[in-house]
Structure 1
Amino acid sequence: MQKPLALLFIGLFFGTGAGFLIAAANGVTLDGHDHDHNVVEIVAKMDHAHDHSKVSVLPQGTNAPTLKLVLHPDAVSGWNVELITTNFIFTPQNVNTTDIAGEGHAHIYVNGKKLARVYSRWTHIGALPSGTVELSATLNSNTHSALSVGDRLLNARTSIQVP
C-alpha cells in the first residue's frame, strides 16, 4: 500500500508541474477575474438591437404595476440593485414573445445609458464612475416596450455620490 500511495503523490506533483509549465509556455496566466469594471465604459461599447422607443400603456387602478429601485453597496465590489415591484412578474422565459399585461423584465441605466436587461428583483453591477451617478430602471414588456400606467412611465431612479 505504501508504494501505490507514494506513486500517486509523485504523479500528482510532476503532473501539476508539467501542467503549469505548459500553461506558462502558452501565455496562460492565473490572474483571476477583474471585478472592477467601470459600467459606463462597458455600456459605451454595447450595441442594443431592440427598438426601445415604443410604450405599452397599462390601465390605471389598484392592480397597476409599481416599481421602486434601491441600491445597496456590495461587500466585495460594485453594487447590488434591488427592484421592488407590485403587480408585476419577471418572466425571462417569455422575452421576445407576445406581450402579457403585468409581466416582462427590467432595463437598468447608468447616467441615461442602458447597462443591462434584468430578469429578477436583484442584479449586481460593477464599479461606478466617480462623482454624481444617476441609476434608473424601467419595467418593460416581453417585446421590450417600456411600460406605463396611464401617461406615467414605470420607472424609478436614484442618484448617488461615488467617491
Structure 2
Amino acid sequence: MSATAPPALDSTLPQLGRGFVWQDLAVGQRLRTFRRTVTETDLVNFIGVTGMLEAIFIEEGYAGGAITGRPVPAALTYSLIEGFLLQTMIQGTGLAMLELSQKIHGPVRVGDSIEAMVEVTGIRPTSQGGRAVVTSRIDVFNQRAEAVMTYVATRLLAGRT
C-alpha cells in the first residue's frame, strides 16, 4: 500500500461559510435565519459579561417586575440574531456597522425560540474599492410568530474583487 501525499491547498476554491458580497444582494430580497431557543445559561452568561445585573434578570419571579416569566435583555435577543447574521450572511464580507435603529415590540423570555426575517431595503455602492452601504430591516419573532423586535441595520459590505 503506497501513501499518497495530500494535495496542495487550492486558495481558488469557494470558501464555505463566507457571507454575501453586496453584488449578491438585491433590494427587496428576503432571507430567514435559523431558530434558536434562549436558555438560562445564555441569560446568565450575558448579564455576567455585560454587567446588566438588574433584579428582573437575576431574580426569578422578581415581584417588582412588569414582565412575567424569566425575561432576557433585548440586547441579548439582538446579539443572538446578529450572531446568526454574522455566521451566515456577512462572515468575511461585513466591514462595519454604520447605523442601527431598534424597536422592541414584546418581551423574550428564557425558553422562547427566536428567529428573524431579513429584508434588504437599500444598496448604495461607494466610490471606494467596490464596497457598498447595505441597509436591511430585521424582524425578530418568537415561537408563536409574534414580532418581538424590529431593527434597521446599515452596514458597509465588501464587494467582489
Q: Scaled by the length of structure 2, what TM-score is found? A: 0.34
Higher strand fraction: Structure 1 or Structure 2?
1
Question: What's the TM-score once normalised by structure 1's chain length?
Answer: 0.34
